[in-house]
A = this chain, B = another copy of it.
């Protein structure tokens, strides 16, 4: 405990005094300024160790205009996909020496807008933003004066970096996988009517493309609306399908939560999976490997998305007016029991 008085009490001044050098020299040592005589560096380091000096980060932030914190805005952590994404982002950030401040928007449009202009942006050097409700009309709101990386498919073409995946291709692959298992009456759950951007719209496009490529007619009654992609919604969609009496031999949940809800509802009605009804999800959350039956899904390259997002953001924070980039992460189909895999 030598020298460690009240918290934050030891300043560079104290270290400088103890080491017999100027404050600036201490600063230089701490910041690895190259031109320091080894003997000096040693003296200073010794004083630092003895006094237990810790740099005051607020002071440094004030001086440098940087906090070392990045923001991550997402709908909510209780959605497993976003929890896992946050996990990956935090790990990636930690590996690069920054920390993460998480803000939940609750998938509320106004809240998503607020996050962009919140006072908290002061605390962060940049923001990784995963909007669910903003649309192309809100592009102006994204014209912010701090580094921004946008995740997802809702808004394009602005002055920011973008990390996304090929939703159309991935959904096509998911659908093709079902077709390969001999399914022809494939329901999609979680569609968003009227949208042309966003994961829902793009994934439905992929679904339609796969059907077309296989000469399977599109039956609109197999496309079920579902606003929030929660488990409960998935169950409701299945209830809807069953109650309308449509025939179907497979379900494509536009995300895993929907698919989990679907599994639940099918089970409750005594409909077995994968026969007569196969199910595939999207996101490949951890749960998918532990449901009964296990859930086939699309793995969106979560780690890759997180790392790319953090890298892009940090590069932007570091400066350099590189052109804004759009990174497309890889996906893979993960077959499990729910599609007979």
Contacts and interface: CB of A to CB of B under 8 A. Distances in A.
A31 interface: no
A23 interface: no
Interface of A: 6-8, 54-59, 61-62, 65, 67-69, 76-78, 80, 83-84, 86-87, 90-91, 94, 99-104, 119-120, 122-123, 145-146, 231, 235, 260-261, 263-264, 267, 286-287, 289-294
A235 B286 CA distance: 14
Question: How many monomers of this protein are in the complex?
Answer: 2
Residue of A55, A78, A91 with most chain B CB atoms under a 10 A cut-off? A78
Contact of A83 (B62, B83, B123, B263): B83
B122 A57 contact: yes
Nearest to A84: B78
A101 B261 CA distance: 31
Nearest to A104: B90
Given A99-B101, A291-B291, A292-B264, A145 B86 contact: no
Which of A55, A76, A123 has its CB near the most chain B CB atoms (within 10 A)? A123
Nearest to A88: B78
Given A61-B58, A122-B54, A291-B291, A77 B86 contact: yes
Given A263-B292, A291-B292, 16 more contacts: A8-B65, A55-B119, A57-B119, A57-B122, A58-B58, A58-B61, A77-B77, A77-B83, A78-B286, A80-B287, A83-B86, A101-B101, A102-B102, A231-B290, A235-B290, A264-B291
Contacts of A87: 76-78, 104
